[in-house]
Amino acid sequence: MFAKFARSWSLVKASAGVLRQDKELLVFPAISVAASLLVMASFILPLFGLLDFKALQQGEREPVWLYAWVFLFYLAQYFVIFYFNTALVGAAMIRLRGGDPTLRDGLRIAWSKAGKILGYALIAATVGMVLRAIEERAGTIGKWVAGLFGAVWTVATFLTVPVLVSRDVGPIDAVKESALLLKKTWGENLIGQGGVGVVFALLQFAVIALTVLGILLVVSTKSVALIVAVAALGVFAVMALALIQAALSGIYAAALYRHAMGEETLGMDRALLDAAFAVKR
């Protein structure tokens, strides 16, 4: 297990090397975050005029149309996320083939797959609604089941976007192929995603802790400008870490998929990739 973790982490570091060569890949997750916030605002703000929150707090059932509203929110949110992730993975694919991708290249690839991305978003939104229904109706056990299924879904669909980018298949076939590739990538898939998540969670915790400590230290100066500056610096650092994590995840997925298909993956140690796809016994 330790050898597998070390190998997976080496792949993550190789993905970081690709990111250093193409720092503009960070733009895709940045645009994704901004667009996601706009989608969230466009769906949440109107609810303040459409819902009677006092009646809901008193136990009145939610109106039926609210479920359709939530589904449309899921659909729009997933579409935005998948669209810019497709742009990121598409640009990463160009780099891994030895090219020099631009922002326009990634967006062009995403636009050419817009219909299939919408189909994938529809699948993901349906899964999200089902999991939400399980959580609401089955209590603690439902939350546990939904959390477990959600984790399995995340791992099984990790390579769906690289499949959509690389092949002329529909979203259902892309999800199926991603799930089948899990048999080859199960170890590196789990450790790669989990390892990156844990490392960046620790880094973000450290940044937040240092920011709080910094604010406490400058409070004595009674300088509002200095307090705001320290807080803003902390928020910027957390956001920067989140963008780097998203970019690394996209590059990592692109590299795993290309090697699984037997394609040359420039910038990655072939021995590491060969080991990543050792057959599970």
State how far the Cα of 193 lies from the Cα of 249, in Å rounded to an integer: 7
State how far the Cα of 250 lies from the Cα of 154, in Å rounded to an integer: 14
pTM, entire model: 0.82
- Which residue positions in the chain have pLDDT lower than 70? 1-11, 50-62, 183-196, 264, 266-281
Tracing tokens 């992730």 back to the chain, one arrives at 85
Could you report the per-residue pLDDT of 61-72, keeping only the tens digit for each?
667 778 888 899
Q: How many CA atoms lie within 13 A of 158 on its CB side?
A: 30
Residue 45 is predicted with a pLDDT of: 85
Q: Give the residue among 17, 15, 31 at the shortest CA–CA distance from 243.
A: 31
